[in-house]
A and B are shown apart, each in its own frame.
Chain A
Amino acid sequence: MSELATIENDLTAKIDAAATEAALEEVRVAALGKKGVVSEQMKTLGKMSPEERKEMGPALNGLKTRIAEAIEAKKQALAEAALDARLASEKVDVTLPVRPEPKGKIHPVSQVMEEIIAIFSAMGFDVAEGPDIEDDFHNFTALNFPPDHPAREMHDTFFFEPKDDGARMLLRTHTSPVQIRTMMTQKPPIRIIIPGRTFRCDSDQTHTPMFHQVEGLVIDKQTHMGHLKGTLEAFAKTFFEVDDVKTRFRPHFFPFTEPSAEMDIQYERVGKEIRFGQGADWMEILGCGMVHPNVLKNCGLDPDEYQGFAWGMGVDRLAMLKYGIPDLRDFFAADARWLEHYGFDPVDQPNLATGLSR
């Protein structure tokens, strides 16, 4: 075996045997360093005859290149092995639980109000508001409640202590005062919905002293009861997200509308669930009617020129019906278990393009 072959065999064996990057470096220095065996061999080239050089030059360069390549390859292999070893040592139990993050929720009343707003916005309704503390004129008189209407009496209305002039403020018993405030400050055409808190001095399983309403009002020169029917039927279908919700209108009485009606929807009780669009029973979900001529007059509008409809519905009750929430009183108890169960993820923003709810 030639000397070069011996050197190559020897170095290759050492490279193979190097177990660490440091050992490999030692081999590299011993082979290719200034005083390494390969470098020493290279130095002999100068003393050679041109013929010898012509033969040995390429042989030595080949050796040098092969050793360098072998070292590089081994270096990479060692690095890979080191990385594998490190990664193996870094293994964790990925089944361990993540740190719990509290999940915020939107209250069903807020969510359902936004759903209702989304529907009526698409039908061209603005969203109007007014104060919770009202006076007798806006809450009753202007809405055609005769002076001693039973609803004005203590058992229905929350009153405040009388002022020096005897006038008493009250907590609005419906959101209808905002109809009056709007009609008195805005020229028709008017198309608004009015969400808000309302108050009645009443408390039992199905009544709470505070609840929420959305009221609607349309005033122009041509809107009739057919529009009322079309609008509220479309609302019921869209809100309950059931294709064939059946509705019916029944004559009823309210002081502030004439003719007045209540809208029922058809349902069936299946176990504890209420299903719409099937069954044979009817439940009332809202009151409505054509705005009473006296109300228009009270707001300075001529009932022979202007006409329109109004309705009012309970937001809490609609939320109960749609989402199967059993007890009204729980809405206001701020029980975390209830809020987490019936509340909505803040990313679920009601929108007609995506459907109102998941």
Chain B
Amino acid sequence: MKFTLSWLKEHLETDASLDEIVETMVAVGLEVESVENPEERLAAFTIGEVLHAEKHPDADKLKVCKVATKDGEMQIVCGAPNARAGIKIAYAPVGSYVPGIDVTLSKAKIRGVESHGMMCSARELEMGDDHDGIIEAPAGAGVGDPVSQWLGVNDPVIDFEVTPNRPDTNGVNGVARDLAAAGLGRLVTPAPAAVKGEGPCPQKIELRFDGETKDACPAFAGRYIKGVKNGPSPQWLQDRLRAIGLRPISALVDITNYVTYDRARPLHVYDADKLAGVIHARLGAQGENFLALDDKQCEVDETMTVIADNNGVLGLGGVIGGESTGCTEETVNVFVECAYFDPLRTAKTGRKTGLNTDARYRFERGVDPAFIMPGIEMATQLILDLCGGAPSEVELAGEIPQTDKTVLFPPSEVKRLTGMDVEPEECERILTALGFAVSKSDPWQVDAPSWRPDIEGKADLVEEIARIVGFDHLPTATLPLSKAVETPKLTVGQERRRLARRALAARGMLEAVTWSFLDARHAGLFASPDDLKSKGLVLANPIASDLGVMRPSILPNLINALQRNADRGRADLALFEVAPLYGDDRPEGHVNAAAGARRSAPPRHWQGAAAGADVFTVKADAIAALEAAGAPTPSLQTTADAPGYFHPGRSGVLRLGPKVLAHFGEIHPRVLKEMDVDGAVHGFEVFLDAIPAGKKKPTKTKPALDAPELLPLTRDFAFVVDAAVTGEALLKAVRGAEKKLIAGASLFDVYEGKGVPEGKKSLAVEVTLQPRERTLTDEDIDAVSTRIISQVGKATGGVLRA
């Protein structure tokens, strides 16, 4: 919402400077977005006088002028038809920036004649649309005076954000009221005087709603004015509208715009001679339409309030008027409408039609119902003043909506909610200044003014008082601590995510944050499209078609990111993300995961390139994340049944019995192809929420250190087993063969080929034996070896390799 300083001063008698006004607006909650001071904007331009003008020797349309300026006499070449000796002009010196043509002037030669600076048109100085000639300033203007002083543009324009709770500040008088309450001056908004009409209104008005929809338009006031003369509005009105970015149209239209901005009261003026029969408000009907004032055909439906006559729809109530009954230069008899339209219905109509008008903006936030009658009087007086004519009496259809609202208010609420000490007298003064009626019973009874639909209860009054006193008067208080030292605050889940994140970064991976949604086509590679739909994960209004479903896995986003980076020349990269994925639309469907993806192209190095990532790299990633997050990793089992988006032979699942904690492996080449990804990608996903809760221990004591005195010794075993036997099964058999002496077993060789029968493989294990009470004898060692060999034979069918 924009207004000018002089406009404000018609409502606020004040000595305050522009800066003080702006500061106070911000302090009371009217957030100023910009202040434009034309005096500053036009500071470079001063009045000049054309002393002499003659035709350019080489151009018919150009003139060579001698101009008296603040810089002395200048020669300026000018193409304007009105450039002639004796006129006062707007002089732009060399070096100045001319906003309307976006040019910084330099000394020029035009068709061989030197030109020093420029004489500007209104459009060149962004003071209007006029570009037919240069500006002619009043004859009294002095050479060297700032142009702003003589051209009616020295009025600063303030633009501020109107919050949805303050429809009253959609009018300049509402701003003035807040400022007056804040002590910046006296509110002097004139109350519109009733204009005596002659005879009843010849134009009949009706409200045609049934009981349930009556509130769509509860009141419709109108008045007939005959014999007006429409034409351009006077300069002061045009200047005012132009200053706030509105285009002056004609006196009648400009008057409605003026009242809209002055009092937050939209109006409409019809050419009464174009109306057929009773003008009425009703709901629209499917199929109806009309040509709106924006020159577009507007479709109407049964949810919208329309204004109609016998010929059909004339306009949308509270949103936009129609072309057919609009006022023109020829209009002589008018009908002025001042009505109340329901905010919700107006808002819906506005959204449906996409029409953003000043009227809609005000009606959907709520106009002051008590200003219907004053509004029409104010409009009448302006029309009479600017266009003449003779008014009828005012006709009102329906009833003015009631706005009485009384809040029971103990003034102690101010202290309770804000901590500020404000004297009751000051509370009363502020409320009264804002238009509330205060009755000091116990508790106070405070009546809200008709223009404040936002006031509901005590807290609203506290806000009114606090914002006028100023939030800079709030005390600074510290929340009391309940303990001398605070206890840990993260939940188990939050702590797991923090630790998994840092563990993965410590493994050299970069943490990414990617969208929670993705392309349905890519999601479909990681979950069945039917499931995504039936589980409610498809967005109805995605921001882009490739961000249409909630992600069933973090992997596709990371895989796409790897490819994007590769396209920029970064082929060797490991990314991870610790964030949610979505199983369904219930709170329980929100699953916290840690996922990572690697695409490797290890750089060459003089010591030889590092190994590239493979399935065991991402298995290690998954185990590292799980371990950091507190999973009992030694107890994990690995199975080879990862989901179908992994390579079927190079992927696995980490689990605790039936509980799946992680997937890892090479991404299926078919999936990569569908995603237009080159090369191999390895990935993992860890389901942090699935980790079983750790037992709460009574103390932080660690178990005693087990560090035997005796030296451990190692023995190697090579077993020939069926190719299908897993390393994990063999190691489990070895470790389980003897619990006391076997301290560890590691698999150090896997071999298939010459020397090992077809369908078999050789697995070599180093077993560490830890003597406890005495040094082991050969017999002791043989006994353990025998048990290992027999246990492996039993569990896997393996035999010692010859």
Asked if B28 is at the interface (CB within 8 A of a chain A CB), the reply is: yes
* Beta-carbon contact of A129 and B510 below 8 Å: no
* Beta-carbon contact of B550 and A133 below 8 Å: yes
Instruction: Flag the segment in B207-215, B396-404, B466-474 that touches A.
Output: B466-474
Chain A residues contacting B506 (CB-CB under 8 Å) are 104, 346-347
Which residues of A (336-356) have their CB < 8 Å from a CB of B?
A: 336-337, 339-340, 343, 345-347, 349
Give the contacting residue for A159; candidates B471, B472, B539, B606; CB below 8 A. B539
User: How many angstroms from the CA of A114 to the CA of B126 in the assembled complex?
Assistant: 50
* Beta-carbon contact of B511 and A122 below 8 Å: no
Asked if B512 is at the interface (CB within 8 A of a chain A CB), the reply is: yes
Whether A127 touches B460, Cβ cut-off 8 Å, given contacts A169-B536, A251-B467, is no
Which residues of B (476-513) have their CB < 8 Å from a CB of A?
A: 476-479, 481-483, 486, 488-491, 493-494, 498, 501-502, 504-513
* Beta-carbon contact of B502 and A117 below 8 Å: no
User: How many angstroms from the CA of A336 to the CA of B566 in the assembled complex?
Assistant: 10
Which residues of B (666-716) have their CB < 8 Å from a CB of A?
A: none
Asked if B587 is at the interface (CB within 8 A of a chain A CB), the reply is: yes
- Quick one: closest B residue to A130, CB to CB? B587
Give the contacting residue for B505; candidates A96, A293, A346; CB below 8 A. A346
Residue among A106, A117, A225, A334 having the largest count of chain B Cβ atoms under 10 Å: A334
Shortest distance from the beta carbon of A202 to any chain B beta carbon, whole Å: 8
Asked if A105 is at the interface (CB within 8 A of a chain B CB), the reply is: yes
User: How many angstroms from the CA of A336 to the CA of B569 in the assembled complex?
Assistant: 11
Shortest distance from the beta carbon of A302 to any chain B beta carbon, whole Å: 13
Bitwise interface map of B from 24 to 63 toward A, beta carbon under 8 Å scored 1, else 0:
0011110100000000000000000000000000000000
User: How many angstroms from the CA of A290 to the CA of B474 in the assembled complex?
Assistant: 13
Chain B residues contacting A107 (CB-CB under 8 Å) are 511-513
* Beta-carbon contact of A110 and B511 below 8 Å: yes
Asked if B448 is at the interface (CB within 8 A of a chain A CB), the reply is: no
* Beta-carbon contact of A117 and B417 below 8 Å: no
* Beta-carbon contact of A106 and B565 below 8 Å: no
Which residues of A (107-126) have their CB < 8 Å from a CB of B?
A: 107, 109-110, 114, 117, 120-126
Bitwise interface map of A from 128 to 144 toward B, beta carbon under 8 Å scored 1, else 0:
01111100000000000
Asked if A46 is at the interface (CB within 8 A of a chain B CB), the reply is: no
Main secondary structure of the interface of A (DSSP, over half): mixed
Give the contacting residue for B478; candidates A234, A307, A332; CB below 8 A. A234
User: How many angstroms from the CA of A249 to the CA of B418 in the assembled complex?
Assistant: 13
Chain B residues contacting A234 (CB-CB under 8 Å) are 478
Instruction: Flag the segment in A33-41, A65-73, A76-84, A255-263 that touches B.
Output: A255-263
Whether A121 touches B486, Cβ cut-off 8 Å, given contacts A159-B540, A249-B472, is yes
Bitwise interface map of B from 555 to 569 toward A, beta carbon under 8 Å scored 1, else 0:
001100100110010
* Beta-carbon contact of A251 and B463 below 8 Å: yes
User: How many angstroms from the CA of A224 to the CA of B476 in the assembled complex?
Assistant: 10
* Beta-carbon contact of A334 and B479 below 8 Å: no
* Beta-carbon contact of A132 and B471 below 8 Å: no
Chain B residues contacting A349 (CB-CB under 8 Å) are 502
Whether A133 touches B561, Cβ cut-off 8 Å, given contacts A117-B490, A148-B344, A293-B458, is no
* Beta-carbon contact of A250 and B29 below 8 Å: yes
User: How many angstroms from the CA of A334 to the CA of B510 in the assembled complex?
Assistant: 9
Instruction: Flag the segment in B380-388, B574-582, B729-737, B779-787 that touches A.
Output: B574-582
- Quick one: closest A residue to B463, CB to CB? A259
Shortest distance from the beta carbon of B543 to any chain A beta carbon, whole Å: 4
* Beta-carbon contact of A132 and B466 below 8 Å: no
Asked if A154 is at the interface (CB within 8 A of a chain B CB), the reply is: yes
* Beta-carbon contact of A334 and B462 below 8 Å: no
Whether A127 touches B490, Cβ cut-off 8 Å, given contacts A101-B508, A249-B474, A251-B29, is yes
Instruction: Flag the segment in B161-169, B219-227, B720-728 that touches A.
Output: B161-169
Whether A260 touches B479, Cβ cut-off 8 Å, given contacts A121-B489, A229-B474, A346-B506, is no
Bitwise interface map of B from 603 to 627 toward A, beta carbon under 8 Å scored 1, else 0:
1011100100000000000000000
- A-B contact number at CB 8 A: 261
- Quick one: closest A residue to B508, CB to CB? A102
Give the contacting residue for A226; candidates B418, B493, B501, B610; CB below 8 A. B418
Chain B residues contacting A163 (CB-CB under 8 Å) are 536
Residue among A201, A223, A227, A292 having the largest count of chain B Cβ atoms under 10 Å: A227
* Beta-carbon contact of A201 and B541 below 8 Å: yes
User: How many angstroms from the CA of A107 to the CA of B561 in the assembled complex?
Assistant: 15
Chain A residues contacting B582 (CB-CB under 8 Å) are 132-133
Asked if A271 is at the interface (CB within 8 A of a chain B CB), the reply is: no
User: How many angstroms from the CA of A199 to the CA of B517 in the assembled complex?
Assistant: 10
* Beta-carbon contact of A109 and B508 below 8 Å: no
Chain A residues contacting B748 (CB-CB under 8 Å) are none
Chain A residues contacting B482 (CB-CB under 8 Å) are 124
User: How many angstroms from the CA of A210 to the CA of B517 in the assembled complex?
Assistant: 9
Asked if B348 is at the interface (CB within 8 A of a chain A CB), the reply is: yes
Which residues of A (123-179) have their CB < 8 Å from a CB of B?
A: 123-127, 129-133, 147-148, 150, 153-154, 158-163, 168-169, 171
Shortest distance from the beta carbon of A253 to any chain B beta carbon, whole Å: 4
Asked if B202 is at the interface (CB within 8 A of a chain A CB), the reply is: no
User: How many angstroms from the CA of A124 to the CA of B348 in the assembled complex?
Assistant: 45
* Beta-carbon contact of B479 and A231 below 8 Å: yes
Give the contacting residue for A158; candidates B417, B505, B542; CB below 8 A. B542
Bitwise interface map of B from 426 to 456 toward A, beta carbon under 8 Å scored 1, else 0:
0000000000000000000000000000001
Chain A residues contacting B418 (CB-CB under 8 Å) are 224-226, 259, 290
Whether A334 touches B514, Cβ cut-off 8 Å, given contacts A158-B542, A162-B540, is yes
Chain B residues contacting A227 (CB-CB under 8 Å) are 419, 477-479
Asked if A218 is at the interface (CB within 8 A of a chain B CB), the reply is: yes
Which residues of A (47-100) have their CB < 8 Å from a CB of B?
A: 96-97, 99-100
Give the contacting residue for A251; candidates B466, B512, B533, B580; CB below 8 A. B466
Whether A129 touches B28, Cβ cut-off 8 Å, given contacts A224-B418, A227-B479, A231-B479, is no
Asked if B573 is at the interface (CB within 8 A of a chain A CB), the reply is: yes
* Beta-carbon contact of B417 and A307 below 8 Å: yes
Asked if A322 is at the interface (CB within 8 A of a chain B CB), the reply is: no
Bitwise interface map of A from 180 to 217 toward B, beta carbon under 8 Å scored 1, else 0:
00000000000100000101011100000110000000
* Beta-carbon contact of A226 and B475 below 8 Å: yes
* Beta-carbon contact of B543 and A226 below 8 Å: no
* Beta-carbon contact of A343 and B539 below 8 Å: no
Whether A290 touches B479, Cβ cut-off 8 Å, given contacts A104-B508, A129-B494, A336-B573, is no
Chain A residues contacting B165 (CB-CB under 8 Å) are 253
* Beta-carbon contact of A161 and B540 below 8 Å: yes
Asked if B537 is at the interface (CB within 8 A of a chain A CB), the reply is: yes
Give the contacting residue for A261; candidates B471, B516, B540; CB below 8 A. B471
Chain A residues contacting B475 (CB-CB under 8 Å) are 226, 229-230
Residue among B490, B493, B543 having the largest count of chain A Cβ atoms under 10 Å: B543
Give the contacting residue for A225; candidates B417, B515, B587; CB below 8 A. B417
Asked if B547 is at the interface (CB within 8 A of a chain A CB), the reply is: yes
Residues of chain B having any CB pair with chain A under 8 Å? 26-29, 31, 163-166, 344, 347-348, 351, 415-420, 456-460, 462-463, 466-467, 471-472, 474-479, 481-483, 486, 488-491, 493-494, 498, 501-502, 504-517, 533, 536-544, 547, 550, 557-558, 561, 564-565, 568, 570, 573-575, 578-580, 582, 585-587, 589-590, 603, 605-607, 610
Top 7 A-B pairs, shortest CB-CB distance:
A251-B29, A226-B419, A104-B505, A259-B463, A102-B508, A334-B561, A253-B163
User: What would be 19 A-B contacts, judged by CB atoms less than 8 Å apart?
Assistant: A105-B505, A105-B511, A126-B489, A133-B550, A160-B539, A202-B543, A209-B543, A225-B417, A226-B420, A231-B479, A249-B472, A259-B459, A259-B462, A260-B463, A290-B462, A307-B417, A334-B512, A335-B565, A336-B510
Given contacts A129-B493, A249-B474, A250-B31, 9 further A-B pairs with CB under 8 A are A133-B536, A148-B348, A169-B585, A171-B539, A229-B476, A248-B472, A293-B457, A336-B510, A343-B510
Residues of chain A having any CB pair with chain B under 8 Å? 96-97, 99-107, 109-110, 114, 117, 120-127, 129-133, 147-148, 150, 153-154, 158-163, 168-169, 171, 191, 197, 199, 201-203, 209-210, 218, 223-231, 233-234, 248-253, 258-262, 290, 292-294, 303, 307, 331-337, 339-340, 343, 345-347, 349
